[in-house]
Amino acid sequence: MRLTIGLAFACLSLNAATVRSEPGAPVSSDWVKGFDNQARLVAGQAVRDGQTALYAGVEVAMPEGWKTYWRAPGDAGGVPPDFDWNASENLQSADVLYPAPHRLSDKAGDTVGYKGGVIFPVRVVPKDATKPVVLRGKVEYGLCKDICIPAQADLKVVIPPNVGASAELTDTLARVPQTSPRSGVDPKLDTWHFDPLAQKPKLVLNVETSAPDKADAFVVAPGGIYVPLPKRVANASGKAVFEVDLSVDVDLKDLKGKALTVTMVDGKGQSETTITLK
């Protein structure tokens, strides 16, 4: 049975102004403190897949023991982050990326997210690359320890056309799952099969990995459709096998024909791929 976490009905409204930066340097907003967390925006040129481009980052820092959530919070429930850039100026698009998450287990059950802190990278495309981007983000996210609290941060940073390189963002982008796994580094989906006629319909994932004991997998459906967390059922030389029980809290008609994103991590690397249930 799917568990849910009760949320305290408190919302933390945070506001951050821009911190000025020298020409050719990365930029950031002030840290803004909330209830046992602080948030800010950072921005600069960063490298992903060998390509340099303009990125921002929503950075959330938390004390030891606190966690925040991935885009799919897991079986025990939670609040996935939400990003609103509509008040920005000179912004063509802002696409949020997610670093590889972790399975977090406690007495409430299993969730998926990050402890201690996280930077959510944002690919920023200006309307006019010769002018500054005024990036305004209204960010909502959940925080949990003994209680769970929804937080809201209103953040702003001005990104000049000559903004410098950000090693911090490049490092964060290296932890974002890619669709082209690096040989010998990233886990990848070797094979999979869907068994809808079994007594308990299930999805089986065979993940090729150099660290089967540390490997994990997560499945996300479009539109917020719930997919249970995969359960490890076997380890073998270079393989970790996971099953997704689709017999409880799932309507198979909602999943069939949809592109499901499979994210795989193993402590050494990470990758993503899509599959479609027939």
Say how far apart CA 75 and CA 94 lie, in whole Å: 29
- Token readout for 38 is 């602080």
- Token readout for 104 is 């977090």
Confidence (pLDDT) at 22: 54
Say how far apart CA 258 and CA 182 lie, in whole Å: 26
Residues 2-41 have pLDDT tens digits of: 433 333 333 444 455 554 445 589 999 999 888 889 999 9
- Token readout for 229 is 């967390």
Q: Residue for token digits 């409430």? A: 108
Confidence (pLDDT) at 124: 98
Say how far apart CA 120 and CA 123 lie, in whole Å: 10
- Token readout for 256 is 């069939």
**Amino acid, res. 152:** Q
Burial of 112 (0-12, 13-18, 19+ CB in 10 A): buried
Within-domain flag for 99: yes
Report yes or no: 76 and 111 within 8 Å, Cβ to Cβ: yes
The model's pTM is 0.90
Q: What residue ranges of the chain have pLDDT lower than 70?
A: 1-23
Confidence (pLDDT) at 23: 57
- 248: CATH: 2.60.40.10
Confidence (pLDDT) at 10: 38
Number of domains in the chain: 2
Phi-psi region of 224 (alpha: psi -120 to 50; beta: other; left: phi over 0): left
Report yes or no: 235 and 180 within 8 Å, Cβ to Cβ: no
Q: List, in sequence order, the alpha helices (H) in 134-202.
A: 167-173
Within-domain flag for 182: no
CA distances from 203 to 29, 212, 255 (A): 44, 19, 11
Domain of 137, in residue numbers = 12-173
Q: Which has the closest alpha carbon to 229: 201, 203, 259, 198?
A: 203
Say how far apart CA 139 and CA 58 lie, in whole Å: 8
Last residue of a domain, one of 109, 142, 173: 173
Q: Are residues 159 and 200 in the same domain?
A: no
DSSP state of 228: P
- 21: CATH: 2.60.40.1250
Within-domain flag for 183: no
Q: Are residues 206 and 266 in the same domain?
A: yes
